[in-house]
């Protein structure tokens, strides 16, 4: 479900409801997600007000004066706002209840997601410290990309999805960006010419911006914080279209696996 646009959509959806609100109660219905949930630490946040809601890569950061809650949605995680307590479903693992009656509910069938706690600078947390640049920032530029890819022999698609290089790009948007840029996903990262890097940068920024504008993609089960689907999946040009004609040249789109992830591309348009 969540790559950068879906996480950003989630952030924008929940922020107005939780910023400046005071945590009244935390409800944990299981002890583990991807890692143990630090329930004892998190309970210390009762009485604290949410001072900021931010995103770093695919992580969401809910800050208080005392500490930051670090949230990752994994593969199937979702956050939504409820205006009153409701019966918890099988996969509704955590509720953060605010003193205005609203609550933030974390749902995650596959439990690859994570809920962490940091009293120190969250950006120095082991999971966030190594993250690469934000793709929509000015730091994601040709000079940076050239430098980070210059001795990478792996497939450009794998490099584009490497969160240590650039954050937020997952399987869907890497696939789409490479199609838009006309670059073969298996091409060795270090062999891209400057002109390729420029097209890839432009394509990546563009696809992410457009996906955010449309409220994220909704392939199977992505629902935003209001429980509504994103509409960007209708705009996807190659992802999940293997065997169908290329929108540009009508060639049949090919499907391969790169780094254990399904990858669709046009053999005619991408080199």
Partner DNA sequence: CAGAATACCTGCGGGC
Partner DNA sequence: TGCCCGCAGGTATTCT
Residues labelled as active-site residues: 2-3, 58, 261
**Burial of 109 from C-beta contacts in 10 A (0-12 / 13-18 / 19+):** middle
x/- contact string, 104-143, with DNA (CB under 7 A)?
-----xxxx--------------x----------------
Q: Kindly state whether residue 217 participates in binding DNA, applying the rule CB under 7 A.
A: yes
Q: Least CB distance from residue 176 to DNA, whole Å? A: 11
Q: Kindly state whether residue 216 participates in binding DNA, applying the rule CB under 7 A.
A: yes
Q: Least CB distance from residue 43 to DNA, whole Å? A: 24
Closest to 167 (Cα-Cα) out of 5, 14, 11:
5
Give the chain as a DSSP string.
--SHHHHHHHHHHHHHHHTTPBEEEEEES-SBSSSB--HHHHHTTTT-B--EEEEETTEEEEE-SS-EEEEE-TTT-EEEEESS--PPPTTEEEEEEETTS-EEEEE-SS---EEEEESS-GGGSHHHHT--B-TTSTTSSHHHHHHHHTT--SBHHHHHT-TTTBSS--HHHHHHHHHHHT--TTSBGGG--HHHHHHHHHHHHHHHHHHHHTT---SSS-B-TTSPBPSGGGG-SSTT-TTSBPTTT-PBPEEEEETTEEEEE-TTT--
Q: Least CB distance from residue 126 to DNA, whole Å? A: 8
Q: Least CB distance from residue 153 to DNA, whole Å? A: 3
* Nearest CB to DNA, comparing residues 64 and 132: 132
Instruction: Measure the CA angle with vertex 10, ends 169 and 62; round to 5°.
Output: 100
Stretch that binds DNA, among 43-51, 96-104, 146-154, 194-202 (CB under 7 A): 146-154
Q: Least CB distance from residue 267 to DNA, whole Å? A: 18
Q: Kindly state whether residue 237 participates in binding DNA, applying the rule CB under 7 A.
A: no
Stretch that binds DNA, among 92-100, 198-206, 213-221, 244-252 (CB under 7 A): 213-221
* Nearest CB to DNA, comparing residues 6 and 23: 6
Pick from 1, 50, 67, 238: which binds DNA (CB under 7 A)?
A: 1
Stretch that binds DNA, among 74-82, 99-107, 134-142, 200-208 (CB under 7 A): 74-82
The C-alpha atoms of residue 201 and residue 93 are separated, in whole angstroms, by 37
* Nearest CB to DNA, comparing residues 23 and 200: 200
Q: Least CB distance from residue 159 to DNA, whole Å? A: 8
Stretch that binds DNA, among 38-46, 67-75, 98-106, 200-208 (CB under 7 A): 67-75
Residue numbers at the binding site for DNA (CB under 7 A): 1-3, 6, 34, 57-58, 72, 74-76, 90-91, 109-112, 127, 151-155, 158, 161, 163, 170-172, 216-222, 230, 233, 259-262
């Amino acid at each position: 479900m969540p790559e950068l646009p879906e996480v950003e959509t989630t952030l924008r959806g929940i922020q107005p409801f939780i910023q400046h609100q005071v945590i009244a109660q935390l409800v944990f219905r299981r002890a583990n997600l991807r890692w143990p949930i630090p329930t004892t630490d998190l309970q210390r946040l009762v009485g604290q007000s949410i001072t900021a809601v931010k995103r770093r890569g695919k992580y969401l950061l809910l800050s208080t004066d005392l500490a930051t809650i670090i949230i990752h949605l994994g593969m199937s995680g979702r956050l939504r706002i409820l205006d009153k307590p409701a019966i918890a479903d099988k996969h509704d693992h955590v509720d953060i209840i605010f003193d205005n009656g609203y609550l933030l509910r974390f749902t995650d069938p596959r439990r690859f997601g994570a809920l962490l706690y940091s009293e120190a600078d969250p950006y120095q947390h082991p999971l966030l410290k190594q993250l690469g640049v934000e793709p929509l920032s000015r730091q994601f530029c040709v000079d940076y990309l050239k430098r980070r890819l210059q001795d990478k022999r792996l497939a450009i698609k794998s490099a584009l999805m490497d969160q240590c290089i650039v954050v937020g790009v997952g399987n869907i948007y890497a696939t789409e960006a490479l199609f838009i840029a006309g670059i073969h996903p298996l091409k060795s990262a270090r062999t891209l010419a400057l002109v390729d890097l420029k097209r890839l940068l432009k394509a990546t920024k563009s696809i992410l911006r457009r996906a955010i504008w449309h409220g994220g993609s909704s392939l199977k089960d992505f629902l935003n914080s209001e429980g509504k689907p994103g509409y960007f999946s209708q705009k996807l040009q190659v992802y999940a279209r293997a065997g169908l004609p290329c929108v540009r040249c009508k060639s049949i789109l090919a499907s391969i696996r790169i780094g254990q992830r399904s990858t669709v591309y046009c053999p005619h348009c991408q080199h």
